[in-house]
């Protein structure tokens, strides 16, 4: 009994472009020196082994910052994936050992999800792939399972936490908000009922501004008021 697997963090970074929910992936074959042109894409979630003397949350923040340049963004632990069979695919194990120059048998990974405003330009553009979360190819390791569990976590937390507003631009239309809810919940919502619900949310304020240069009737913009939301959800604040 060796009893000590390696520990890693993996980040499911979600973004929303008004039409679909995206997840940030990297191509682990991109940096290969040989066969660069023809190597097939091999997509994975951004992640890293946890360094000696490094807190696990610090490791997740490091991965996020190294990739996006962003700090202090929404980042939440959501599940640990610890099956001893996680590295069963030969190409996964080979890649990991070549990357780390270490003999690795088992990695327990702590999964985090993060929410990013997609319209912000990131320094990693070109190096990463924003892929529609609903239509993923086979990813490395158990990363498909991790993304699915991340999406399910969003769904379960949508009513408890102001997740949607981390993904939307600062000013947004009700149509955008509804679309995001529909994708996360995995079902269509009745327009009229949705607007009726929203009208009761004191933490959403209408702005005087409307959409510009759109083909349809310009919709009004709204904004999220964090102060009001926090006041109304005081009992959850202790977690922050």
Shortest Cβ distance from residue 1 to a second copy (Å)? 5
Residue 111: name the closest of 70, 133, 157, 142 by CA: 142
**Phi, psi of 190, rounded to the nearest 5 degrees:** -70, 125
Answer for which of 155, 171, 175, 223 binds a second copy (CB under 8 A) is 155
Give the footprint of a second copy on residues 169-208 (CB under 8 A): 185-187
Site for a second copy in 77-116 (CB under 8 A): 77, 79-80, 82-84, 100, 102, 106, 108, 110
In this structure, what token pair is assigned to residue 51?
A: 């360094």
Q: Does 6 bind a second copy (CB under 8 A)?
A: yes
Nearer to a second copy, 35 or 238 (CB): 238
* Residue 62 within binding range of a second copy, rule CB under 8 A: no
Separation between Cα atoms, residue 60 and residue 57, nearest integer Å: 5
Q: How far is the CB of 81 from a second copy (least distance, A)?
A: 8
Q: Specify the stretch interacting with a second copy by CB under 8 A; choose among 34-42, 51-59, 169-177, 206-214.
A: 51-59
Contact 191, 177 (CB under 8 A): no
- Nearer to a second copy by C-beta: 2 or 216? 2
Q: Is 3 in the site for a second copy (CB under 8 A)?
A: yes
Distance CA 46, CA 232 (A): 35
Name the burial class of residue 240, with classes exposed (0-12), middle (13-18) and buried (19+) by CB atoms within 10 angstroms of its CB: exposed
* DSSP code at position 213: S
Closest residue by Cα to residue 203 from 236, 232, 180, 176:
232
**Residues near a second copy (CB under 8 A):** 1-7, 49-57, 77, 79-80, 82-84, 100, 102, 106, 108, 110, 152, 155-156, 159-160, 185-187, 235-236, 238-239
């Amino acid at each position: 009994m060796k009893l000590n697997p390696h520990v890693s963090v993996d980040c499911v970074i979600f973004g929303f472009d008004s039409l679909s929910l995206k997840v940030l992936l990297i191509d682990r074959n991109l940096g290969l020196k040989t066969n660069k042109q023809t190597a097939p894409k091999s997509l994975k979630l951004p992640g890293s082994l946890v360094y000696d003397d490094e807190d696990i949350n610090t490791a997740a923040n490091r991965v996020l910052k190294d990739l996006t340049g962003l700090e202090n963004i929404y980042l939440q632990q959501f599940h640990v994936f610890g099956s001893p069979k996680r590295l069963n695919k030969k190409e996964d194990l080979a890649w990991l050992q070549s990357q780390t120059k270490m003999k690795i048998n088992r990695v327990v990974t702590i999964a985090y999800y993060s929410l990013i405003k997609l319209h912000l330009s990131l320094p990693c553009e070109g190096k990463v792939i924003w892929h529609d979360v609903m239509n993923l190819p086979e990813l490395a390791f158990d990363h498909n399972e991790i993304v699915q569990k991340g999406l399910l976590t969003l769904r379960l937390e949508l009513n408890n936490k102001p997740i949607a507003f981390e993904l939307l631009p600062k000013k947004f239309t009700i149509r955008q908000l509804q679309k995001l809810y529909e994708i996360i919940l995995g079902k269509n919502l009745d327009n009229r009922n949705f607007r009726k619900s929203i009208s009761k949310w004191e933490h959403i304020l209408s702005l005087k501004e409307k959409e510009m240069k759109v083909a349809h009737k310009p919709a009004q913009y709204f904004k999220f008021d964090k102060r009001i939301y926090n006041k109304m959800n005081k009992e959850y604040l202790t977690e922050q």
